[in-house]
Amino acid sequence: MDVKKTIIEKIWEQHIVRSHTGEPDLLYIDLHLVHEVTSPQAFEALRLTDRPVRRPDLTLATVDHNVPTQGRDLPNPDPLSTKQIETMQKNAAEFGIPLWDIFDTRQGVVHIIAPEHGLTQPGMTIVCGDSHTSTHGAFGSLAFGIGTSEVEHVLATQTLPQVPPETMSVEVTGSLSPGVTSKDVILAIIRRMGVDGGVGRVIEYRGELIESLSMEARMTVCNMTIEAGARAGLIAPDEVTFEYLKGRSMAPQGEAWDAAVKDWSSLKTDNGAEFDHSIVLNGSEIEPHVTWGTTPAQSVPISGRVPGPEDFTTAAGKETAERALTYMDLESGQRIEDINIDRVFIGSCTNGRIEDLREAASVLKGKRISETVKAMVVPGSGPVKIQAEAEGLDSIFKNAGFEWRDPGCSMCLGMNPDILLPGERSASTSNRNFEGRQGAGGRTHLVSPTMAAAAAVAGHFVDIREI
Amino acid sequence: MKTIESIQGKTIPLNRADVDTDQIMPKQFLKRIERSGYGPFAFYEWRKEESFVLNDSNYTGAPIMLAQQNFGCGSSREHAVWGLEDIGVQAILAPSFADIFRNNCSKVGLLTIVLDQSDIDYLMSRAEELPDSQVRIDLSSQTVKLEGSDWQRSFEIDPFVKHRLLNGLDDIGITMQYEDEISNYESSRSSKKPDTSSAFEDTMKVG
Ligand code: SF4
């Protein structure tokens, strides 16, 4: 009888260059994405050791973390950012790597640009010096974040030594209730798993609810896999995946397309294959979520209240909750709907795609944001921006009082001027609510695009199901 | 990479769980393109709190950090490890680490050791009460010892990482010895896989 395998094991085995007892497996990397922040030291090391980039044709670079989202044609006031962007340009030119540079219409957040051109495909191994590389798993690829030493390793050898992960099935049954999005699903999953529940594991998301999601919604789920500590998360490719890829410029065309679909279809987990770990969530019970603390696992349904130290059993849990409440300036027992916000950020590799903007715009149509709120939309990429403008979404946002910006990471991490001031509180569609993530002293609540839009109008969190 | 055999010295009790790399090295310092000099920026915001452990002169120069579960979670930024390295940390002991951070440490030559929660709590309270306590880590025998006491524990480490750290071996140099295997893999690799050569073209087609 054949050994039953999970999709994770299948992709892994197809990429083993060398396997030797007592050593990690040496895996071949099909695609290496590069951005300006985590790569300069890697290129410098190549220069010092006189090593070339082995496969520039399997490498793609962009600038996203540091770029300003307005006034790009003006001189960048930040000399350090300028230097880092120029360093990326110089490195790409010297090592022969394609770069979607700041004025290229294809420029955008690294995890948005590869999928939208059909470059991210099922069955691939994909790495990037960025923890949210897990996003690409939505296509049934094994995609994970790496550090700068590993970036150098991949540039030099197109391989990475890796210890095989444990496998985990996260099954979500049922269907999305009205007003609930894939962002709420992944927040619910992280809340259940905890921020370290996935350490050492690769997750396959499965089940009826996951299958019902669009590609973009699947990317939101896989994107935040790292927030549960897992190395990667993926979803088996199916008709939804193929439909999305078909016709995109970097996807296979003609006869090659049919052959590719056949290969991709063989990737899914065999019936009866066993996972090392598994959990099941009833998706129909998931409500819109809002984070209250300083880790993505600290979330509650919108109908809920801010928990307190008394809600945690361990001493460490109590202490963590206490610290989070102090930082967030919240009180235990406070209703989530009573939390007022100052800023709204719609964007990032979690929720900066066209569907996200459409959903947010549908809430804002004909409305004005609260006078006490400053809000901005940062499309995830050039093509997302162009598409949104073609659909008139930019006017809806602008008429509602939002700023309409150029693509980049922006206030997701605030490496450019888009930051929270100390004490400011945001409703953000990004993925991390760590202390100071969006600006020193800033307080971040993670939500879906529709919840963010509704909060912008009300000036506080509201239940999207009631409007 | 330098070799590691044993590490001995005082320990810094960083008694917080889920410490993310945004705290260890805030984003404003990731704009630097240099590989060194990150020490002054490590825990930049937390250092503004007077009571923060790294502001306590009792622990100045300690080569070992004690941390709580899930240390190093979040962003993949290796700058976090460079910052710890730059303030003289050579080993971190915790009940668990985030994957990417731990990997990054192993590449830079910083030893990460997982001990039981109760052992970490014990060492943590020792370090808090008696900052001069000395801990000795021996990599070959995979042991951690509290000097001047009977307390000793053994720890697990990936044999390959151990070999690299003991011998100060460069990972890339090791992989480059397998050039034949890499070339063989490439020649049998499917030609259907995408490449990025068309990315040089100045055209855009989406959807
Ligand atoms: S949008 Fe945020 S999470 Fe995504 S790559 Fe940029 S900084 Fe990282």
ipTM: 0.95
DSSP A164: P
Ligand 1, closest atom to CA A110? 5
Mean pLDDT for the stretch of residues A389-412: 98
CA B204, CA B162: separation in Å to the nearest integer?
A: 48
Is the pLDDT at A2 greater than 80? The verdict is: no
**B165 lies in some domain:** yes
Band of pLDDT at residue B203, cut at 50, 70 and 90: low
CA of A348 from ligand 1 middle (Å) equals 6
pLDDT tens figures, A365-393: 999 999 999 999 999 999 999 999 999 99
**B207 lies in some domain:** no
Overall number of domains in chain B: 1
CA atoms within 13 A on the CB side of A433: 27
Question: Rounded to 5 degrees, what are φ and ψ at A377?
Answer: -115, 130
Radius of gyration of chain B (CA): 20
Is the pLDDT at A1 greater than 60? The verdict is: no
**B158 lies in some domain:** yes
Q: What single string gives the DSSP state of each residue in A98-162?
A: -EE-TTSTT-B-HHHHHHHTT-S-TT-EEEESSGGGGGGGGGT-EEEE--HHHHHHHHHHSEEEE
CA B136, CA B151: separation in Å to the nearest integer?
A: 11
**Does A33 contact ligand 1 (Cβ within 6 A)?**
no
Is the pTM higher than 0.90? yes
Range of the domain at B12: 6-186
pLDDT tens figures, A86-124: 999 999 999 999 999 999 999 999 999 999 999 999 999
Residue B199 to residue A124, Cβ atoms within 8 A: no
Closest-CA residue to B72 (of B108, B41, B103): B103
State residue B207's pLDDT score: 43
* Helix, strand, coil shares, percent, chain A, to 5: 40, 20, 45
Residue B196 to residue A118, Cβ atoms within 8 A: no
**B100 lies in some domain:** yes
pLDDT tens figures, B34-84: 999 999 999 999 999 999 999 999 999 999 999 999 999 999 999 999 999
Is the pLDDT at B187 greater than 70? The verdict is: yes
**B21 lies in some domain:** yes
Is the pLDDT at B182 greater than 90? The verdict is: yes
Average pLDDT, chain A: 97
Nearest neighbour of A131 by CB, restricted to B33, B76, B196: B76
pLDDT tens figures, B89-104: 999 999 999 999 999 9
**B32 lies in some domain:** yes
State residue A315's pLDDT score: 81
Mean pLDDT for the stretch of residues A410-428: 96
The gap from C-alpha A112 to its chain's centroid, in whole angstroms, comes to: 9
**Cβ density class A269-279: b for 16+ within 10 Å, e for less:** beeebebeeee
Average pLDDT, chain B: 95
> Residue A189: exposed, middle, or buried by beta-carbon count in 10 A (0-12, 13-18, 19+)?
buried
**B199 lies in some domain:** no
Closest-CA residue to B72 (of B116, B117, B119, B25): B25
- Cα A398 to Cα A378, A402, B18, B40: the distances in Å are 12, 5, 39, 42
For residue B20, the surrounding DSSP H or E stretch is none
**B30 lies in some domain:** yes
CATH number for position B51: 3.20.19.10
CA B197, CA A19: separation in Å to the nearest integer?
A: 30
Is the pLDDT at B206 greater than 70? The verdict is: no
Which of A38, A63, A82, A131 is the mutation pick for testing B, counting most B CBs within 10 A? A131
Polymer length of chain A: 467
Is the pLDDT at A419 greater than 50? The verdict is: yes
State residue B105's pLDDT score: 97
Residue pair A267/A10 in contact by the 8 Å Cβ criterion:
yes
Polymer length of chain B: 207
